[in-house]
A and B are shown apart, each in its own frame.
Chain A
Amino acid sequence: MASKNNTDIKSLVIRVCVGTGGLAAGSQEVIDEFTKLLKKKGVRAEVLKKCVNKTGCRGFCAKDVLADVIVDGISHTYQLLTAENVARIVEEHIVGGEPVEQWLVGPEYHAFHDKQTKILLHECGHIDPEDINAYTEIGGYNGARKALTMKPENIIAQIKDSGLRGRGGAGFPTGLKWEFCRNADSDQKYIICNADEGDPGAFMDRSIIEGNPHSVIEGMIISGYAIGASFGYIYIRAEYPLAIERLKIALSEARSNGFLGKGIFNSDFDFELKIKEGAGAFICGEETALIASIEGKRGMPRSKPPFPAHKGLLGKPTVINNVETLATLPSIMTKGAKWFSSIGTEKSKGTKVFALTGKIKNTGLIEVPMGISLKEIIYDIGGGMEKKNRTLKAVQTGGPSGGCIPAANIDMPVDYESLAAAGSMMGSGGMVVMDDLTCMVDMSKFFLTFTANESCGKCVPCRVGTKRMLEILTRITEGKGKSSDIDLLLELGKDIKLASLCGLGQSAPNPVLSTLHYFRDEYEAHINEGICPAGVCKSLRRYTVSDEACKMCGKCKTVCPSDAVTWEKKQKAVISKEKCIKCGACYEACPFNAIL
């Protein structure tokens, strides 16, 4: 349709995903190419200025680079774009008026979004995070504005009624925490936003800040006013440069709009915020350690009580809320407690953001109502297993503090109580899907390595205990496990949980204890038979070809880096024990699971 020319287009908006995932996949190149080609085509300059809008993460990182091309209000979304694709889209879609069908998002994209309930992530990916007007135009800061006309006690009551619980992991009722701090008598109080997201496999907080930083700032204004704090800190890990940059822009914009500073929103309430960059210590996600770090000390936790709500930063009453908790507040203020508590289960209200990763088809950021089943998350939103010939083994939630839910239990609802009852925890929202090629002993070892490294060393059960557990796990994966090791792990795990000072130590044994509970047979196979059933533990590997299952395709020979596979057409493959370097390439490549 060459008849349609540029001047027919009244408005053109192109939205390219520029979260960390998008940038890594090359979204900057895509943006540059669009800008260059549109200029060449002579699309009018005033259109051009607006045409490339930077948006935050829309959560479907597996299909990056994603871009919406909106011609006169009609939007089409493209997936897996590279700079090379841009020319054809400009030519056929923007100039010609015919979208390039083959690159448009498919049913997976819609399935990924349909089962989600987006409150927090609703604006992420749709508004420009570097423009405060984009946020205020959709009603942003109305929650804070409304809160400032209310009595602090009434705000706290409303949050209590909503049933909101802390999204950082433990799930303590947010309203109650505020009330403790509100009632504490002091000349100075503080509000802290905990953005020290450190769980491996979790990136919810980063995406919220990158996609909609103003929602966090607004949440802090609301909570600051409710507890009576005029200062706040955002403690964010230095590993998130883009999030820090966007927060800085957002803070200065909020300041110049009179949303921060003296007498905000023309009230008599003063509120100021400051960013504190973390310096790389997982333990600083723990409340008292975080406070020590802000004070300029070693980030080590102390025993509680006194709780931070009574004696926190510099000895003053302090509330520490997670990014997700804070970003939820504006919508509770505007839409009401009843609306919020209508979502979710009896004890877990609202939605939860998860970072869905691992051996699953659609990896990315998802927001689901509390109480949804794991099955719906994995098969409807996640699109099932990454590889068709693999089966689901378990889902890990809660990162290094959580545990595994075996495939048999995936009908279980996702809420604080159910996860805890299953030996795991909600955690901050990491959700790693594992297939039958994942070794549970190796996985426990991985998490224990993490916690043993991150233990601050203050208390003995955690410092020494995690180290000893790690040694035992290491020897099991090396085929040197003793028959007494399982009992020893159970005993150590129990003691560490009971005796550790802070949440890190108290939850560090969880990955081991939960896999021991559900997958004890795997530990026993390692120890008693010297076999790693998933074929992960290197020292225990012995690759052979199953005569029954081998379909003589020769794929294993193609991938073998050490020439250990002998195969001719119409013959079954044989693996040489001498030449095999146990890399596992053939095992992964075999489409028929014929390599054991």
Chain B
Amino acid sequence: MSLKVDEIIGVVSSVLDETQKKRGTLIHAFQEIQKEQNYLPEEELVKLSKELDIPMSDVYSTATFYKQFYFTPRGRKIVKVCTGTACHVRGASKVMDALKNEFNVGDGETTEDLAMTLESVGCIGCCGLAPVATINEGIIGEIDSPKLSKMIEDIKED
């Protein structure tokens, strides 16, 4: 992978020195790798460390700081259950528990066949529809037990 540093940071590059430029692209590079590979494989991070001339310890330290990045492969369906204030009040934990039991995974875990990853997330910004969950890009609001059963079916469908 070769990084087009100037392209990523745009016009700002004219006022930055080389070190600043490289450093500034680091998080963007993580995002690009993860978009392609679904997670941050170690060998990619090693390559990135050499390319940007940033020590591996520093690369790893930065990547682990942010919740967005993963270091193990992820499921094909990412199920996020909102546990923000409004959802919490309207029973998000019931949704979470039901999914944990059904798929035998914990929060943040992926099923062995990589079919799904279950995660609790902070507010996703549609509290009016609490409790809310997402399966990949799709949003499911006002989850009651019929909707929950439907959700479980949807997740199982490949």
Contacts and interface: CB of A to CB of B under 8 A. Distances in A.
A24 B127 contact: no
Nearest to B8: A274
A279 B123 contact: no
Given A24-B140, A231-B12, A282-B122, A61 B84 contact: no
Given A297-B23, A355-B127, A201 B9 contact: no
B125 interface: yes
Given A295-B23, A357-B85, A450-B122, A25 B129 contact: yes
B123 A199 contact: yes
Interface string A517-556: 0000000000000000000000000000000000000000
Contact of B139 (A23, A363, A432): A23
A29 to B, nearest CB: 12
Given A280-B67, A358-B86, A363 B132 contact: no
Contact of A201 (B11, B123, B137): B123
B23 A21 contact: no
B128 A239 contact: no
Given A238-B68, A296-B25, A314-B20, A363 B128 contact: yes
Nearest to A396: B85
A201 B61 contact: no
Interface in A12-45: 20-21, 23-25
A446 B31 contact: no
Contacts of B11: 231, 272, 274
Task: Name the interface size band of chain A.
Answer: 35 or more
Contacts of B114: none
A371 to B, nearest CB: 25
Given A24-B140, A438-B89, A281 B67 contact: yes
Contacts, number: 128
A364 B25 contact: no
Contact of A200 (B12, B23, B123, B128): B123
A368 interface: no
A363 B132 CA distance: 14
A430 interface: yes
A352 interface: no
A296 B23 contact: yes
Contacts of A128: none
A25 to B, nearest CB: 6
Interface in B103-147: 121-130, 132, 137, 139-141
Interface in A203-259: 203, 206, 231, 238-241
A432 B130 CA distance: 13
Contact of A61 (B20, B66, B124, B129): B129
Given A201-B85, A293-B27, A446-B85, A20 B66 contact: no
B66 A279 contact: yes
B30 A279 contact: yes
Given A203-B126, A239-B124, A24 B85 contact: no
Nearest to B21: A296
Contact of A274 (B12, B25, B129): B12
A537 to B, nearest CB: 13
Given A298-B61, A432-B89, A434-B89, A280 B66 contact: yes
Given A201-B86, A201-B127, 6 more contacts: A21-B128, A200-B122, A274-B11, A281-B66, A296-B26, A364-B128
18 contacts: A20-B124, A24-B141, A25-B129, A25-B141, A61-B128, A200-B122, A231-B11, A272-B11, A274-B11, A280-B68, A282-B122, A295-B24, A296-B26, A297-B23, A299-B66, A314-B16, A399-B85, A446-B85
Q: Which 8 A-B pairs have the closest CB atoms?
A: A61-B128, A279-B66, A280-B67, A203-B125, A200-B84, A24-B139, A280-B68, A296-B26
